[in-house]
Structure 1
Amino acid sequence: MNAASGVKLVGFGLLTWILPFLISIPLYSPEGEPLYDIFLVKSILLVFSAALGTFLILVYFRDVHARFIWEGALLGGVWLLINWVLDALILLPVSGMDAGTYMAEIGLRYLMIPIIAVGIGYAVEQAVRSATVRRTGV
C-alpha cells in the first residue's frame, strides 16, 4: 500500500464516523434526548451510514487493481476500528453509556462495514476473473 492509499483508507474511515455524527446533531436535543422517535432516528442514521460507507468503499476500490478480497478485509477492519475508537473517545463519555450497552445498541452495527467491504471485494474479484476468462478463453 502506498502513502496515498493509506491516507485515503484512513481519511474515508474518518468520514464514515464524522458525517453520520454531524447528521445526528440536529436529531437530538442539547441534553442528548432524541427529538423524534428513537427508532426513526436510528433508522435515518443507519441508512445514511450504510449508503455513505458503500459509496466510499466503491470510490476506494477505483484504485485497487489486485487482492480485492484482502483490500476489502483491510478496509473493513481499519474502518471498524476507527469507528469503535472514536465512539469510545467521544460518544461513550457524552452519552454516559456503558460498554456493554454500547456494543448491544450501536457497536455491533459497525460490523456492516467489513461485511460490505469484503462483499464488494469478493464481487470485484469475481468480475475480474470472469473478464479474464472471457478475454483469454481460459
Structure 2
Amino acid sequence: MMRASMRDSIRVLLYGVLTWLIPFLLAIPFYSGGELLIDQQLFKSIMIIIGSLTGAVLIAHLFRVMSWEYLTAGYVTAVAWFLINWALDILILIPLSGLDLISYTSQIGLRYLLIPVMTIMAGVVADHATKKGSRI
C-alpha cells in the first residue's frame, strides 16, 4: 500500500492535469475548422467560469481525501497546478493557437494566477476551520 503522502502527491498531479484537460475538452465544441464560433470575449468569459468551477470542485474533493495539513496542501497544490497548466499550454495550446509566448502570457497565461489564489485561500480557510474544531 502506498504511503498517504505518495497518494496525495499523485492526486495533486492527476487533478492538476484535470484542471487543464476538462476546460480544454469543453472548449472544443466552440471551434469548427480552427475558427471560433462565438464572440471571443464571450468565449474567454465562459472558459474562465469553466476553469474556476473545475478548479473549485477539484480543490474541494482533494482537500477532503488528502492527509496533508491544509496550508501545506494549499501551497503545494497552487504551485503544482500552476506549473502543470502552463506546461500543458506551452506543449499543446500555444502550438495549436499560433500565439507567441508574450501574447500567450498576456492573453491567457496570467489568468492561471487564479489557481494559486484559489488553492492557497482554500488551504487558509480549511486550516482556520480545523483550528476552530470543525472539519470541512
User: 8 Å contact 2:8–2:66 — kept in the other structure?
Assistant: no
Offset at 1:22?
Answer: 0.5
Partner AA of 1:63 in structure 2: V
Aligned to 1:8, the other structure's residue is in SS state: helix
Superposed CA RMSD: 1.4
TM-score, normalised by the number of residues in structure 1 = 0.89
Aligned to 1:131, the other structure's residue is in SS state: coil
Q: How many angstroms apart in 1 are the aligned matches of 2:101 and 2:119? A: 25
Offset at 1:39?
Answer: 1.1
User: 8 Å contact 2:16–2:84 — kept in the other structure?
Assistant: yes
The residue number in structure 2 matching 1:20 is 23
User: 8 Å contact 2:5–2:68 — kept in the other structure?
Assistant: no
The residue number in structure 2 matching 1:72 is 74
Regions of 4+ moved over 3 Å? none
User: 8 Å contact 2:5–2:67 — kept in the other structure?
Assistant: no
Offset at 1:120?
Answer: 0.5
Q: How many angstroms apart in 1 are the aligned matches of 2:112 and 2:22? A: 15
Offset at 1:65?
Answer: 4.7
The residue number in structure 1 matching 2:53 is 51
TM-score, normalised by the number of residues in structure 2 = 0.91
Offset at 1:64?
Answer: 3.6
Q: How many angstroms apart in 1 are the aligned matches of 2:101 and 2:10? A: 29
Per-residue Cα deviation, 1:17-51 (whole angstroms, up to 9, x for no partner)? 111011111101222x2100111111111101101
> After the TM superposition, which of the residue ranges 18-27 and 62-71 deviates more from structure 2?
62-71
The residue number in structure 1 matching 2:86 is 84
Stretches of structure 1 that go unaligned for 5 or more consecutive residues are: 133-138
Partner AA of 1:24 in structure 2: A
Identity rate, percent: 37
Q: How many angstroms apart in 2 are the aligned matches of 1:97 and 1:103? A: 9
Stretches of structure 2 that go unaligned for 5 or more consecutive residues are: none
1:93 matched to 2:95? The reply is yes
Offset at 1:123?
Answer: 0.3
Partner AA of 2:33 in structure 1: P
